[in-house]
Structure 1
Amino acid sequence: MRVIPAIDLLNGKVVRLHKGNYDEAKIYNDDPIAEAQKFKDAGFDHIHVIDLNGAKEGKFVNLEYIQKIINGVGLSVQTGGGIRSYEDAAMLLDTDLSNIICSSMAVKSPNEWLNVLDKYGDSAILGMDLKDGQVAYSGWLETLDKSLNDFLQPMIKRGLSTVLSTDISRDGTLEGPNMELYRQLSEQFPNLNFIASGGVSNASDLATLNNDGQYGVVVGRAYYEGKISLDEMLQYHSG
């Protein structure tokens, strides 16, 4: 299983939100480059970085910090937040980023998203936020009136391979991931690689996801709150 440490960037600082609420942003480090270096020193080579300014403003804002993490620290980065168009995706993927994560574009501009999949293939990750089993978007305020199968099949046909799936009721809560959700997703869509996101609280959560055969998991707040160590994360990380 791939264990992927997370950095959420807001105004150039490492923060975590609670259920996506910007008013509840907690700052963990003023220096994202130093934070990334901790992951590198521990033995990780790939991290998850979200541009929270970009997600709110609809344009990518924190690219300079991500480029410093890639070029200065030597980590590969998957990133999302504020990627709204094919041009946004192309701009990022034509730099040194390994992967982009798109969610709103897949809902609001599906043809552009399908074109991204056509051009960039495995480098394009779908960010699928779920609220009561439905795809949520627009800051999680709206849900898509479409089944998961109808939503995903056109993308699968165009080469989608990896989905970062967040149960928004668990995001930033330390309540544990929605294990049953990820089991159901993996069973319903066996050809997709699912990265679990939201709710990881301790090493036993990683053990369960690993035993379930999940492809990957993003770990954020549990690490920053001292609930899980980098050594424990590495125990379940297969690269």
Structure 2
Amino acid sequence: MKIIPVIDLKDGVVVHARQGRRDQYQPINTRLCNSSDIDSVIEAFLNLHDFSTFYIADLNAIMHQGGHGRLIDEMLARFPKLTFWVDSGYQSGSQQSVRPGNYMSVLGSESFRDETIGEIKAFDNNFVLSLDYSLTDALGAKSLFSNPNLWPDHIIIMTLARVGSHSGPDLDKLARFCRQYPDKNFIAAGGIRNKQDLLDLSEIGVEQALVASALHSGHLSADDIRNLQAKKYPDESGYF
């Protein structure tokens, strides 16, 4: 199981995302560090575990209220050995800029409409797709959810109503995607509370997850992460 820490950026600081209510997000209050500065939060995550990939949501850019391009570029330069998946929204007709090798675009369905969906082809499958849901409702271009020919290999299933809710991941939805498209790598996002949720995800075939709240609260510890990656938890019989 690969755990990818989530960093939600709004108005220059890392915020605590809760159920997609972006206008209500407040600066992160975390036991990992005493700052909501992105630099401090990344360092705190790395002190917890040697993560290799981070997910950044530039909420201002997604909401078309400015953005954090310079700040993200600084992180790319400061941590060249880390890979950053970055969702900065998408505006029709915008040009792709040249990025360092440790940058990967995340394209969220909520930023597309059916009439602009063809623009995804310009990325030549060099991106991570996020299929965004409120709870059960698909957000954005509806055809993007039903046309796997537009999908890259790595696809986030993002249930915004579960983000920061401590309600657990949407196992049914994720299991359905895994059954229908076994050749794709689906990544869970939203509601993950603890190691048991991650074990349940692994059981249905999901081996990557975006996680924030469980890391900040300590409900997912350094030992939990090490054991999950080594698959050292016992099965139902009690054996490892």
| TM-score for the superposition, normalised by structure 2 | 0.81
Task: Report how far residue 94 of structure 1 moved.
Answer: 2.8
Q: Deviations over 1:90-139 (max 9, x none)?
A: 21x533443111124443521111221x2xx2x311111124544213xx
Match of 1:192 among 184, 192, 195: 184
* Letter of the 1:26 counterpart: Q
8 Å CA contact 1:19–1:171 kept in 2: the answer is: yes
- 1:39 matched to which residue of 2? 45
8 Å CA contact 2:187–2:210 kept in 1: the answer is: yes
* Letter of the 2:138 counterpart: V
SS in 2 for 1:136: coil
8 Å CA contact 2:175–2:204 kept in 1: the answer is: yes
More strand by share: 1
- 1:148 matched to which residue of 2? 145
Task: Report how far residue 14 of structure 1 moved.
Answer: 0.9
Query: Could you tell me how far apart the structure 2 residues matched to 1:145 and 1:45 are?
Result: 32
8 Å CA contact 1:58–1:83 kept in 2: the answer is: no
8 Å CA contact 2:167–2:191 kept in 1: the answer is: yes
8 Å CA contact 2:171–2:201 kept in 1: the answer is: yes
Unaligned stretches of 5+ in structure 2?
29-34, 231-240
Query: Could you tell me how far apart the structure 2 residues matched to 1:165 and 1:30 are?
Result: 26
Of 202-211 and 46-55, deviating more is 202-211
Number of aligned positions between the proteins: 220
Task: Report how far residue 234 of structure 1 moved.
Answer: 3.6
* Letter of the 1:13 counterpart: V
SS in 1 for 2:192: coil
Query: Could you tell me how far apart the structure 2 residues matched to 1:147 and 1:38 are?
Result: 36
The percentage of counterpart residues that share the same residue type is 21
In our comparison, the structure showing a higher alpha carbon Rg is 2
8 Å CA contact 1:13–1:31 kept in 2: the answer is: yes
Query: Could you tell me how far apart the structure 2 residues matched to 1:45 and 1:98 are?
Result: 12
SS in 2 for 1:236: helix
* Letter of the 1:70 counterpart: L
SS in 1 for 2:74: helix
- 1:48 matched to which residue of 2? 55
The 3 A distance-change label for structure 1 pair 145 and 5 is closer
- 1:124 matched to which residue of 2? 127
Query: Could you tell me how far apart the structure 2 residues matched to 1:35 and 1:148 are?
Result: 33
Task: Report how far residue 63 of structure 1 moved.
Answer: 2.2
* Letter of the 1:2 counterpart: K
| TM-score for the superposition, normalised by structure 1 | 0.82
Matching of residue 95 in structure 1 with residue 100 in structure 2: yes
8 Å CA contact 1:125–1:163 kept in 2: the answer is: yes
* Letter of the 2:166 counterpart: L
Aligned pairs (5 A) from 1:141-220? 146=143, 148-149=145-146, 152-156=147-151, 160-220=152-212
8 Å CA contact 1:165–1:197 kept in 2: the answer is: yes
- 2:238 matched to which residue of 1? none
More helix by share: 1
Task: Report how far residue 175 of structure 1 moved.
Answer: 0.7
Query: Could you tell me how far apart the structure 2 residues matched to 1:85 and 1:23 are?
Result: 24
Query: Could you tell me how far apart the structure 1 residues matched to 2:205 and 2:62 are?
Result: 31
- 1:18 matched to which residue of 2? 18
8 Å CA contact 1:19–1:172 kept in 2: the answer is: yes
Unaligned stretches of 5+ in structure 1?
138-143
SS in 1 for 2:131: strand
Query: Could you tell me how far apart the structure 1 residues matched to 2:106 and 2:18 are?
Result: 20
- 1:141 matched to which residue of 2? none
